[in-house]
């Protein structure tokens, strides 16, 4: 059975027809062609599908599409503004915090959820924030460095 | 480029060796990078694979009539839809090739199933839900057979035999009965057994290594499209487009003129995406239903028999030394658990366990054994971590018996340039002594361990990986503005586009931004072997140095004509050809190409095959704390020393080392396949198969040592594989120093650590 719902995705209003079985990940990837969110496991264990739902990082594979009616979703496609990378993204580029890239979109959003609420996170805070996002390539060190660098730059621009 | 006799570049490098960002990083951090799962084609339908629920059974028949009757089901295939490939039908890949009989069995079982999760049929339907519903209606008539799960059980003479045609290789005369032991390898030198008897001190250990998975985050995906002329295109997540093409073509009986494999971004491979896992099945379904077919494996399929994990092992090792610490003997028995089909030769693992020590007496015997578990495949330095877990613990035990510092013991016995490798040939230039000197100076070794709430210990372990070279090809076309456009035959697993852009920029005297590098599909560039064995950066560098020279030679001829000079007199630097004085006339590559565009293309070609090996050597130091109440091991500090020859890009090199170490720590402490007595994997999810998170590992420090490989452009070594080799042994040695127990089974889970501690507390029984 299909249902019509309205929500905001990457600051744009969308009205979409969804199947009751569809997840939020199905909606963004298959329905809207926003394929930056990845499916690594389909049951909430890997974090590659992380998106922001009303500002909080969630696994899009664990949210039913029907649940997002009236809510605001940010996917990786909505993080860079007009081609300008978010400081988390540019720091990941510089430090080598992205290798195969499959976990990267989820990491960016998990980190954004952290920095949106905590301007000066400790290394432990950063590790905690991305603990739900598996990365098999980097060993995490360069990702943690990138997020710390981005936090420092954001603090500079805020003052 | 300039080479001095040691292989080290003599001119100052401008682009190579710099800490540059990956050229493809922006599309990764913005989600624009395209992986096969992101593709959508008009009219596309979806495939699902039916997998065996039994570990060992004969297939009496398959009835798919009910499945085919469902609305929306477009095609069903079984082994009957593929030609039967005989044993020994090989395709080239590296030194041994691939036996297509086995590749076919990984993709579609015929007559018998040998593990839970082996494919037995596949369906294409209008959506995944319909395809899944159809699978449930395919009736497979199995005759269950007794599963053989343990290595020793499979080696027992009375064990049920998995493959009636497998006779143990490496035994003379050829055995008369089929066996689960597929091959036996012996490496020997001197008289190890006598040396063990006579030595001042000896140590023995038996280790068991559970099967683990490569754990790439992107499950296997294939998209297949067949056009009206029967030409098939496959978009795949593969480590090698040419190997994939050969495998698909042989499984389907397709000529090369009817098939193309397009490699897209790959979400990790680590050895697990060399062979195909469903690509040929997707093409057959697409041929049958005349629609593009997309096959996406689920994570459960990836773990439960749909892709090859890494081999488990059971190893006995004994080592002996004289009083001054001089190593006298290494004796080892290595049994590799290949899973349901014959696996790799144990030789590499055996070499890895003995290569780093000068030892006059060796007796190493290895067995490749089949069991009713998923057919294993390569995983980063295959066999290396298993070997090191055994030999590096044995050496540490020997040091404890001798009362000798483990670093001094290694320095005393380390292989050096010219030492004999286990196979009897001398080592080319290696830097193990330099690495050990660096360890001795580093704070990770000199600083005392701070006390903690629980006992702490420091462990040292070495790692060796031989790597491979094989074939790499590339070509460079010069654009109308003089810029080099590179097409290479290798898939980019580890930043290859970036490091190869650096190589070409260096050779041309350009900036990295002036070079474009792409991976070609299987129809657009010369044959290259897959991205595996730490071979691509080295061999593609060699191929591109040749291709650059070829292109520059052609450009020089054109410049000579324009500048009215003999070609050999022209000076080339920084993308400008200059005639000698008195004329001194100059022409840039941009001007030259503008002036000669109508003379035809400038295409420089390069190929590398049989490049000298770039053996990889590392030494790791690890500090742990062992919670003696729970058995939990926390890694406090980790430092990896590695000789990389020359770091093309230190960021990329560190990234390879750090990631590889963390994979090793995962296997050391967390990751192991847990099979039930029926051969079914009980932890087939990423919750129950626990890979390290950011909270499980410390920051990994890498210390890069550079000993160039002679006669190799820029002296580059392999990098990515050896850092996974020492971690389990380094952790085990640290645990032993902390709490005085040896945990001889990987992963060293809290339960196993606690059991080892309690066993020692209880005393000998």
Tell me the CA end-to-end span of chain B in Å, nearest whole number.
67
pLDDT at residue A30, as a whole number: 95
Contacts of B86 (CB under 8 A, 6+ apart): B101
Pairing label, strands B633-643, B700-705 = parallel
With CA atoms as reference, the chain A residue closest to B27 would be A101
Report helix, strand or coil for A145.
helix
Report helix, strand or coil for B297.
coil
Chain A residues touching B26 at Cβ < 8 A: 85, 89, 93
With CA atoms as reference, the chain B residue closest to A28 would be B38
Q: Give dist(CA B545, CA B570) in Å, integer.
A: 20
Q: Give dist(CA B73, CA B545) in Å, integer.
A: 52
**Quick check: B641 and B432 in contact, CB under 8 A?**
no
To which residue do tokens 């030595």 refer?
A: B199
With CA atoms as reference, the chain A residue closest to B20 would be A94
Q: Is the CB of A38 less than 8 angstroms away from the CB of B693?
A: no
Angle of CA points B640, B644, B647, to nearest 5° = 110
A84 vs A17, B29, B34, B121, B558, CA distance in Å? 32, 12, 20, 48, 42
- Of the candidates B750, B397, B457, the residue with the CA atom closest to the CA atom of residue B621: B457
Strand order across the beta sheet in which A56-59 lies = A12-19, A2-9, A72-74, A50-53, A56-59
Please check whether residue B270 touches A, CB under 8 A. yes
| DSSP 8-state assignment for residue B557 | H
Q: Give dist(CA B145, CA B131) in Å, integer.
A: 29
Chain B residues touching A79 at Cβ < 8 A: 30
Report helix, strand or coil for B313.
strand
| DSSP 8-state assignment for residue B699 | P
Please check whether residue B267 touches A, CB under 8 A. yes
Residue A19 backbone phi and psi in degrees, to 5 = -80, 145
Angle of CA points B686, B690, B695, to nearest 5° = 115
**Quick check: B634 and B748 in contact, CB under 8 A?**
no
To which residue do tokens 């493959």 refer?
A: B163
Residues 8-27 of A with CB under 8 A from B: 21
- Of the candidates B235, B213, B239, B243, the residue with the CA atom closest to the CA atom of residue B98: B243
Mean pLDDT by 10 residues, chain B (765 residues): 46 93 97 98 98 98 98 98 92 79 97 98 97 98 98 96 95 93 96 97 98 98 97 97 97 97 98 96 98 98 96 98 98 98 93 96 98 96 96 98 98 96 91 97 98 98 93 97 98 96 98 98 96 94 98 98 97 97 95 96 96 93 98 98 97 98 98 97 98 98 95 95 98 98 97 96 78
> Sign of dihedral through CA atoms B728, B729, B730, B731?
positive
B709 vs B7, B247, B512, B529, B646, CA distance in Å? 6, 34, 25, 21, 9
Angle of CA points B279, B281, B282, to nearest 5° = 65
Chain B contact probe: residue of A100, A128, A134, A148 with most B CBs at under 10 A: A100
Report helix, strand or coil for B172.
coil
Q: Give dist(CA B376, CA B341) in Å, integer.
A: 8
Contacts of B48 (CB under 8 A, 6+ apart): B122, B123, B125, B128, B131, B132, B134, B135, B295
Cis ω for the linkage preceding B224 (within 30 of 0): no
Among A34, A79, A144, the residue with its CB nearest the CB of B694 is A144
Chain B closest-CA separation from residue A147 CA (Å): 13
**Quick check: B488 and B480 in contact, CB under 8 A?**
no
Catalytic-role residue among B198, B331, B721, B751: B721
- pTM of whole model > 0.80? yes
Q: Give dist(CA B760, CA B744) in Å, integer.
A: 13
Q: Give dist(CA B620, CA B633) in Å, integer.
A: 17
Residue B707 backbone phi and psi in degrees, to 5 = -120, 100
B510 vs B478, B479, B501, B572, B574, CA distance in Å? 13, 14, 10, 12, 6
| DSSP 8-state assignment for residue B763 | -
Chain B contact probe: residue of A89, A136, A146 with most B CBs at under 10 A: A136
Chain B residues touching A95 at Cβ < 8 A: 651
Helix or strand holding residue A12 (H, E): strand A12-19
Q: Give dist(CA B614, CA B605) in Å, integer.
A: 23
Contacts of B673 (CB under 8 A, 6+ apart): B210, B211, B212, B213, B309, B312, B373, B681, B683, B689
- Of the candidates B362, B321, B337, the residue with the CA atom closest to the CA atom of residue B188: B362
Q: Is the CB of A140 less than 8 angstroms away from the CB of B694?
A: yes
Residues 98-127 of A with CB under 8 A from B: 98-105, 108, 126-127
Q: Is the CB of B659 less than 8 angstroms away from the CB of A99?
A: yes
Helix or strand holding residue B705 (H, E): strand B700-705
Task: Output the 3-class SS for B580-619.
Answer: CCCCCCEEEHHHHHHHHHHHCCCEEEEEECCCCCCCEEEE
B654 is catalytic: no
Q: Give dist(CA B47, CA B217) in Å, integer.
A: 20
pLDDT tens digits for A82-127?
889 999 999 999 999 999 999 999 999 999 999 999 999 999 999 9
Chain B closest-CA separation from residue A127 CA (Å): 5
Chain B contact probe: residue of A139, A145, A147 with most B CBs at under 10 A: A139
Chain A closest-CA separation from residue B128 CA (Å): 12
DSSP string, B180-207: SEEEEEEEEES-HHHHHHHSSEEEEEEE
In the structure encoding, which two tokens stand for residue B573, read together?
């630097």
With CA atoms as reference, the chain A residue closest to B687 would be A45
pLDDT at residue B94, as a whole number: 64
Q: Give dist(CA B499, CA B648) in Å, integer.
A: 6
Q: Is the CB of B31 less than 8 angstroms away from the CB of A137?
A: no
Chain A closest-CA separation from residue B295 CA (Å): 14
Neighbours of B344 (CB within 10 A): 18
pLDDT at residue A1, as a whole number: 81
Among A89, A132, A140, the residue with its CB nearest the CB of B29 is A89
pLDDT at residue A2, as a whole number: 92
Q: Is the CB of B40 less than 8 angstroms away from the CB of A33?
A: yes
pLDDT at residue B763, as a whole number: 82
Chain B residues touching A9 at Cβ < 8 A: none
With CA atoms as reference, the chain A residue closest to B300 would be A41
Chain A closest-CA separation from residue B52 CA (Å): 21
Chain B closest-CA separation from residue A21 CA (Å): 10
Q: Give dist(CA B13, CA B119) in Å, integer.
A: 51
Residues 112-171 of B with CB under 8 A from A: 129
**Quick check: B467 and B617 in contact, CB under 8 A?**
no
Neighbours of B457 (CB within 10 A): 21
Q: Is the CB of B37 less than 8 angstroms away from the CB of A35?
A: yes
Report helix, strand or coil for B252.
helix
Chain B contact probe: residue of A75, A141, A143 with most B CBs at under 10 A: A141
Q: Is the CB of A35 less than 8 angstroms away from the CB of B38?
A: yes
DSSP string, B633-692: EEEEEEEEEEE-SS-S-HHHHHHHHHHHHHHHHHHHHT----B-TTS-BS--STTTS---
Q: Is the CB of B30 less than 8 angstroms away from the CB of A133?
A: no
With CA atoms as reference, the chain A residue closest to B700 would be A141
With CA atoms as reference, the chain A residue closest to B690 would be A45
Contacts of B513 (CB under 8 A, 6+ apart): none
Task: Output the 3-class SS for B472-512.
Answer: EEEEEEECCCCCEEEEECCCCCCCHHHHHHHHHHHHHCCCH
Pairing label, strands B633-643, B616-626 = antiparallel
Ramachandran quadrant class, A68 (left: phi over 0; alpha: psi -120 to 50; beta: rest): alpha
Kindly provide the ipTM of the predicted complex, given to two decimals: 0.98
Among A37, A88, A137, the residue with its CB nearest the CB of B268 is A137
Helix or strand holding residue B754 (H, E): helix B750-762
Please check whether residue A53 touches B, CB under 8 A. no
**Quick check: A88 and A108 in contact, CB under 8 A?**
yes
């Amino acid at each position: 059975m299909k249902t019509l719902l309205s929500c905001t995705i990457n600051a744009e209003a969308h009205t979409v027809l969804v199947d009751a079985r569809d997840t939020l990940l199905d909606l963004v990837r298959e329905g809207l062609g926003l394929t930056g969110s990845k499916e690594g496991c389909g049951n909430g264990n890997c974090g590659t599908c992380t998106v922001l739902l009303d500002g909080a990082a969630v696994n899009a594979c664990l949210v039913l599409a029907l649940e997002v009616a009236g809510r605001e979703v940010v996917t990786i496609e909505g993080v860079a503004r007009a081609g300008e990378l978010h400081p988390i993204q540019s720091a990941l580029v510089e430090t080598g915090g992205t290798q195969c890239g499959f976990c990267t979109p989820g990491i960016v959003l998990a980190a954004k959820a952290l920095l949106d609420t905590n301007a000066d996170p400790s290394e432990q805070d950063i590790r905690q924030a991305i603990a739900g996002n598996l990365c098999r390539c980097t060993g995490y060190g360069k990702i943690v460095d990138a997020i710390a660098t981005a936090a420092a730059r954001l603090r500079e621009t805020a003052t | 480029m300039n080479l001095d006799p040691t292989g080290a570049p003599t001119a100052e490098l401008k682009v190579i060796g710099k800490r540059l960002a990956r050229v493809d990083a922006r599309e990764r951090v913005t989600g624009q990078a395209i992986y096969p799962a992101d593709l959508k084609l008009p009219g596309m339908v979806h495939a699902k694979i039916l997998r065996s629920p039994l570990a060992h059974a004969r297939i009496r028949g398959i009835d798919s009539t009910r499945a085919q009757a469902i609305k929306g089901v477009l095609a069903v295939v079984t082994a009957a839809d593929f030609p039967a490939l005989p044993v020994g039908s090989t395709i080239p890949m590296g030194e041994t090739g691939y036996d297509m009989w086995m590749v076919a069995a990984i993709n579609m079982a015929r007559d018998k199933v040998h593990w839970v999760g082996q494919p037995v049929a596949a369906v294409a339907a209008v959506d995944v839900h319909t395809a899944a519903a159809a699978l449930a209606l395919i009736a497979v008539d199995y005759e269950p057979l007794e599963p053989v799960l343990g290595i020793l059980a499979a080696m027992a003479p009375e064990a049920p035999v998995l493959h009636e045609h497998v006779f143990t290789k490496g035994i003379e005369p050829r055995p008369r009965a089929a066996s689960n032991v597929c091959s036996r390898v012996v490496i020997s030198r001197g008289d190890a057994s006598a040396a063990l008897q006579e030595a001042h001190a000896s140590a023995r250990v038996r280790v068991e290594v559970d099967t683990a998975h490569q754990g790439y985050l992107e499950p296997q995906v294939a998209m297949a499209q067949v056009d009206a002329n029967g030409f098939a295109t496959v978009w795949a997540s593969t480590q090698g487009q040419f190997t994939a093409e050969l495998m698909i073509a042989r499984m389907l009986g397709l000529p090369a003129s009817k098939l193309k494999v397009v490699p897209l971004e790959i979400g990790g491979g680590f050895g697990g995406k060399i062979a195909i896992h469903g690509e040929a099945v997707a093409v057959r379904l697409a041929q049958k239903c005349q629609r593009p077919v997309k096959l996406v494996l689920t994570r459960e399929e990836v773990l439960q028999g749909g892709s090859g994990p890494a081999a488990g092992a059971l190893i006995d090792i004994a080592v002996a030394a004289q009083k001054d610490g001089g190593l006298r003997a290494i004796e080892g028995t290595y049994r590799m658990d290949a899973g349901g089909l014959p696996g790799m030769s144990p030789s590499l693992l055996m070499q890895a366990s003995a290569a780093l020590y000068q030892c006059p007496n060796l007796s190493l015997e290895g067995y490749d054994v089949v069991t009713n578990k998923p057919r294993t495949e390569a995983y980063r330095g295959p066999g290396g971590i298993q070997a090191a877990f055994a030999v590096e613990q044995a050496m540490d035990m020997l040091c404890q018996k001798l009362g000798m510092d483990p670093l001094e013991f290694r320095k005393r016995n380390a292989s050096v340039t010219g030492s004999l490798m286990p196979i009897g040939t001398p080592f080319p230039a290696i830097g193990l002594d330099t690495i050990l000197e660096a360890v001795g100076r580093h704070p990770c070794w000199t600083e005392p361990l701070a006390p903690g709430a629980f006992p702490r210990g420091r462990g040292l372990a070495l790692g060796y990986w031989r790597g491979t070279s094989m074939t790499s090809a590339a070509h460079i076309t010069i654009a109308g503005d003089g810029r080099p456009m590179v097409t290479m035959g290798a898939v980019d697993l580890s930043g290859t586009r970036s490091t190869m852009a650096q190589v070409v920029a260096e050779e041309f005297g350009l900036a990295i931004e002036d070079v474009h590098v792409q991976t070609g599909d299987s129809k657009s560039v010369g044959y290259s072997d897959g991205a595996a064995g730490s071979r691509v950066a080295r061999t593609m560098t060699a191929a591109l140095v040749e291709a650059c020279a070829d292109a520059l030679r052609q450009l020089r001829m054109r410049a000579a004509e324009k500048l009215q000079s003999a070609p050999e007199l022209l000076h080339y630097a920084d993308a400008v050809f200059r005639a000698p004085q008195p004329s001194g006339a100059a022409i840039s590559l941009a001007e030259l190409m503008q002036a000669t565009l109508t003379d035809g293309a400038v295409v420089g070609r390069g190929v590398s095959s049989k490049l000298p090996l770039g053996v990889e050597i590392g030494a790791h130091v690890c500090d742990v704390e062992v919670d003696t109440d729970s058995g939990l091991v926390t890694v406090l500090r980790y430092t990896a020393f590695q000789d990389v020859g020359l770091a093309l890009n230190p960021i990329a090199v560190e990234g390879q080392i750090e990631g590889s170490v963390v994979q090793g720590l995962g296997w050391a402490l967390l990751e192991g396949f847990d099979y039930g007595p029926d051969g079914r994997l009980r932890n087939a999810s990423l919750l129950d198969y626990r890979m390290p998170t950011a909270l499980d590992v410390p920051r990994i420090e890498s210390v890069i040592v550079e000993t160039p490989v002679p006669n190799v452009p820029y002296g580059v070594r392999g990098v990515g594989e050896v850092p996974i080799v020492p971690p389990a042994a380094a952790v085990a040695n640290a645990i032993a120093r902390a709490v005085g127990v040896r945990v001889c089974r990987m992963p060293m889970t809290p339960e196993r650590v606690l059991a080892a501690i309690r066993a020692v507390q209880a005393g000998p029984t």
